[in-house]
Amino acid sequence: MNEACVSTTTRSSGSATPSDASTSGEGVTIVLNSLSRLCEKTHELTEELRLARRLQMDFLPKRLPEMPGAAFAAHLEPASWVAGDFYDIFRLDEQHIGFYVADAIGHGIASALLTVFVKKSLQTKRIEGRRYQLIPPDEAMALLNADLISAELQESPFITMAYAVYNTATRECVYSLAGHPLPLLMDRTGRLQPVDGGGPLLGIFADAEFTASRRVLEPGERLLIYSDGAERIDPGARQNTARFLDLVRAGAKAPADVMIASLLDAVRVAAPKDEDLVDDVTFVALDLEPKAL
């Protein structure tokens, strides 16, 4: 034991001296000042995060495109202040509407910045003079992947994504996937229709190839695109695809926004008590009106 420790221990067992009181008071002042500065920094950081969340939410579509015989519903629920998930729904021309769900690996500030990259980099049209050509979803994915890799970002810029183009005249939906869960297609009874598709994550391989799948949607059907955080509906927020699909089937007769709300409730209930969601959750649903009787 060193001399300083012996001296301190000896004084602590006796009565306090004026020097001890002065030293103790100075120590308390230093601690209080440090706590005050920490509180100020925490408040500043909270305000910055609140602003970042508001800005990210402002990038979401404020009004969804309207079209005869069909309607969209969508929701994004961040796991923290900002999300690594993102969606967009936009009119390409009088007959086509594009929509996507993107999920950057992880969540938080770094992942949220990647969602901005996706929104700004996704190429949907090729314009030459007064003419334009819609870029098919698989080609748009390849172009986005090339942009992501050429950016040489440092923090694991891996993204899953589902991008689709819906033809309002023919009801054909063309979509492409990049490491993303398969879309769900169901009728009003909750019967799920098989869909195909698949592809590699964005941001990994420069020579990655993406494919396009086509499906003509029938009146009364619903197409649902979601991020994998939606499947965390077991206690402790464990993933349970089977139970998630059961809840989707159960909500098939309800309006899309009502079904989405019930799915979100299941995710919130499964989250650890008094904690945020384990992962961001996003839904985009396309509902086709049933045939008139």
Residue ranges and CATH numbers for the domains of the chain are: 70-288 (3.60.40.10)
Specify the pLDDT at position 24.
67
Is the model's pLDDT at 72 over the cut of 60? yes
For the cut 60, the answer to whether the pLDDT of residue 11 exceeds it is: no
Q: Which residues of 113-134 are buried (b: 16+ CB within 10 A; e: fewer)?
A: bbbebbbeebebeeeeeeeeeb
The pLDDT value given to residue 48: 63
pLDDT for residue 12: 43
Of 117, 198, 124, which is closest to residue 150 (Cα–Cα)?
117
Q: What is the pLDDT of residue 83?
A: 75
Residue 38 confidence class, pLDDT cut points 50, 70, 90: confident
* For residues 28-45, average pLDDT: 70
For the segment 103-123, the average pLDDT, to the nearest whole number, is 83
Q: Give the residue, 293 or 71, on which the prediction is more confident.
A: 71
Integer CA distances (angstroms), 112 to 42, 206, 275, in order: 20, 23, 20
**pLDDT at position 69, please?**
93
**CB of 162 closer than 8 Å to CB of 175:** yes
The token duo for 217 is 């949607």
The pTM is what? 0.81
Q: Which of 21-25, 103-107, 136-140, 278-282 has the lowest mean pLDDT?
A: 21-25
Q: E strand or H helix at 176, and its extent?
A: strand 172-178
Query: Pairing between strand 192-193 and 159-167?
Result: unpaired
Please state the rounded mean pLDDT for residues 134-145.
Answer: 97
The answer, yes or no, to whether residue 9 has pLDDT greater than 60, is no
Which of 15-19, 42-46, 213-217, 260-264 shows the lowest per-residue confidence on average (mean pLDDT)?
15-19
pLDDT > 90 fraction of the chain, expressed in percent and rounded: 56
Mean pLDDT of 254-265: 95
Cβ count within 10 A of residue 46: 11
pLDDT of residue 35: 73
pLDDT for position 65: 95
Q: Is the pLDDT of residue 79 over 90?
A: no
Asked whether residue 276 carries a pLDDT value surpassing 80, the answer given is no
- In terms of Cα–Cα distance, which of 46, 53, 63, 130 is closest to 85? 53
Q: Given this model, what pLDDT does residue 57 score?
A: 73
Indicate whether 255 pLDDT > 90.
yes
Examine the pLDDT at 34 and tell me if it is beyond 90. no
